[in-house]
Structure 1
């Protein structure tokens, strides 16, 4: 097959996926007119025949319809099935969608949820703490936050980062967002146009893949290994493709749990400076380590504003508060503030004040120490129950997930269908792969269910998988 034909097929799929993501995200609703073939071809910098081919297949798949001499329109969706008791129907279709669809399926053993068991969080203490916050800030519910975020919180986080990493930082360098996912979305809107090239780890965080793909980004993948990246590959891709940015998750990586060593972090900054590529460092698990603390974030090696650092605190403090911060150069911050003002005009002030006073408390440090022990125990339980299989994984030193290689004959999609029928969920590897492959890999999260459920659920899961080996036995 010629390179030209390969490229045409790739571009056609990009156009198809781009339109589908816009429809699924309700950016284009039922009966909305789609851009003309000529307009979309210009927007995505592809040939008009490529767009026409994608539109025709969308029509064939029942996603769009045609009005004579008018153009293509979004098709009326079929009535959604809301009967969640019909697990078999859900399981047959869920793998075609997104991680959020899997997490919404009602199961007993949630191995798809990279969240912490609510029973491990300081809920009673939080309840008392909220009352104190209202005493300190009696008008908090009658006041908006600034778009950039509460100044008192930004000052506190600035002191925290300076003390932790000995970096030069000012409160004006920080932006408070409603979780890391909002930060990623704002960055994609601020810096990515259709057909812009971005580098992504393979595998990667599934929501980030969806966000950048919805913007029409051309995603080029960089393999991540237990010992980090092939830096020669990274440099080659930066030189060849001239990417706008490189999205990475180098500390207890989601989904693999790998951690990129310190020497590679420094080299990545040097490469990014040399080839004018922004690094987006997504750091959601930095404090969830089991033994040794991880290396300092990549941004600590940056001196010229090449790194945009996203630090989320939702996972281990309170998912409901949705607090994350972005540290970046003033030129980047200006663009993000414009996008943030359009998104929500500032994250809720009450959430920021609650987080501020808990994060700086002694109770917070005590909570973290206990949480690390509890999560390490759960990881070890899952590994004990999986030890009898011939599956392969690298035991992580932190984070919430195991990234597991199944035997080659396994189909993770079929395994998901059978598992949901037994009230078990997990994440198929395809959802974490920008190339939509890795079908014999899965992500199992050990953090959401309690220890008893964890042991029972993994045993049941191994039994389900056993039914599929060899595949003709089921």
Structure 2
């Protein structure tokens, strides 16, 4: 008899309880010994022919009964009879740690059928076959490429192409020598933080803000200050007052289709920000990871466009919507910041992979990229609108974004967010709790971030129905 036929969903004993009994019997027989690591949730679910969340619940119940314990980032272990653990365990590796620094990664790691937590593009929307053709052409043009390192600053040919693109599109003018290629936008944030921030420095961030960026700044010893971002942009008086009195070393902004809110800062404020930065000796770090994802909306020029000095550093990432696997971003800066960025980058990886840069260069030069972006924007707008239709009669509120990848949704009443997340995941639906993005860490934050690009329209309809039902069941 196989495990799959042994565990019956309609048995008198609930399925997760059957899994609990199975685990306890094997422990009692000595097949799994004290402090021995148990099979992963995925592996045991495959062995028993049950859903992963069934196994997860069984493990949770056994943990609550002190039959097993958990080690952070490691897994589940057999609890000894004397109750002494091998070492003091951290909180549960999935849910119990969602308040901690790496909660985004933790939630993203959970495999669900209705994926609204990942601000990533569905791979089906990317030109995968075309990439294969480009790979063949690239090795024909650069036969020695696998045996060649990139420079720390990045491939000169790619930097020339990007500099020409920015100039030709009228965004801003700069030379290839003013560009640095990094392995994605997050590395660019990290390299900038290592270069500019010293322990005790103040860093101004939007509220809400991108979680990993906040942690990068904190790990450099920064003290975070906040400025709210709203549908109409910033409170510029608040920002000027903060710059004048607190003297922040850095102001980290994501002004175009902001993550998580989707808000876009108006051009008038973008023109003023570099002036304030220069006046008060602050450096603005502008993170532009979804600039090209717009829905019939003319995206305003970046803040960097209006900078005449070195007080704005600009990050343009192409990872999310062109080729996530290549991890390509460009950092543009003027003034004397580049040597420091290069020094920090050299200690990180001594140069981003040249293979990735050359492959991206081939795509960037081709007319296929612009065609892809136009089709992608249409597809993502349809998915966004499908999610908004599902929310139309829910009582949930949001500001419909003109681009980007997320809806920032306010719930009509306060709920226990951890319980809500657990219940949603039990229905194979994921989202990100709002306070993950709150620099002040307020547990009272009534928002959630719902990302629409990873699920197709059918999955969005079914997943949102499940999510709304779960919310109504939480009191």
TM-score by shorter chain over 0.5: yes
**Conserved 8 A contact 2:99-2:436:** no
Structure 2 gaps, min length 5: 1-69, 78-91
What is the CA-CA distance between 1:164 and the residue it aligns to? 1.4
Name 1:80's counterpart in structure 2. 74
Q: In structure 1, the residue corresponding to 2:467 is in which secondary structure?
A: helix
- How large is the RMSD of aligned CA atoms in angstroms? 1.6
Structure 1 gaps, min length 5: 1-75, 84-88
Match of 2:160 among 144, 155, 165: 155
**2:98 is the counterpart of 1:95:** yes
Name 2:34's counterpart in structure 1. none
Counterparts of 1:247-396 in structure 2, within 5 Å, are: 247-396=252-401
**2:122 is the counterpart of 1:128:** no
What is the CA-CA distance between 1:96 and the residue it aligns to? 2.7
**Conserved 8 A contact 1:413-1:439:** no
Residue by residue over 1:421-473, the C-alpha shift from the partner in whole angstroms, topping out at 9 and shown as x without a partner, is 111111111110111115211100001011111111111111111101xx1xx
Residue by residue over 1:16-55, the C-alpha shift from the partner in whole angstroms, topping out at 9 and shown as x without a partner, is xxxxxxxxxxxxxxxxxxxxxxxxxxxxxxxxxxxxxxxx
Runs of 4+ in 1 over 4 A off after TM superposition: 76-79
Q: How many residues align?
A: 390
In 2, Cα distance between equivalents of 1:288 and 1:272: 28
What is the CA-CA distance between 1:94 and the residue it aligns to? 4.2
Change (3 A) 1:138 1:383: same
What is the CA-CA distance between 1:90 and the residue it aligns to? 5.6
Residue by residue over 1:212-231, the C-alpha shift from the partner in whole angstroms, topping out at 9 and shown as x without a partner, is 11112100000000000000
**Conserved 8 A contact 1:91-1:421:** no
What is the CA-CA distance between 1:410 and the residue it aligns to? 1.8
Match of 1:229 among 230, 234, 238: 234
Change (3 A) 1:79 1:111: closer
Counterparts of 1:365-444 in structure 2, within 5 Å, are: 365-437=370-442, 439-444=445-450
In 1, Cα distance between equivalents of 2:146 and 2:187: 22
Match of 1:182 among 187, 204, 222: 187
Change (3 A) 1:397 1:168: same
Name 1:16's counterpart in structure 2. none
In 1, Cα distance between equivalents of 2:98 and 2:397: 23
Name 1:457's counterpart in structure 2. 463
In 1, Cα distance between equivalents of 2:290 and 2:145: 30
**Conserved 8 A contact 1:150-1:352:** yes
In 2, Cα distance between equivalents of 1:406 and 1:412: 11
Q: In structure 2, the residue corresponding to 1:338 is in which secondary structure?
A: helix
Residue by residue over 1:69-105, the C-alpha shift from the partner in whole angstroms, topping out at 9 and shown as x without a partner, is xxxxxxx96683269xxxxx66542423320010001
In 1, Cα distance between equivalents of 2:308 and 2:73: 54
**2:182 is the counterpart of 1:197:** no
Larger Rg: 2
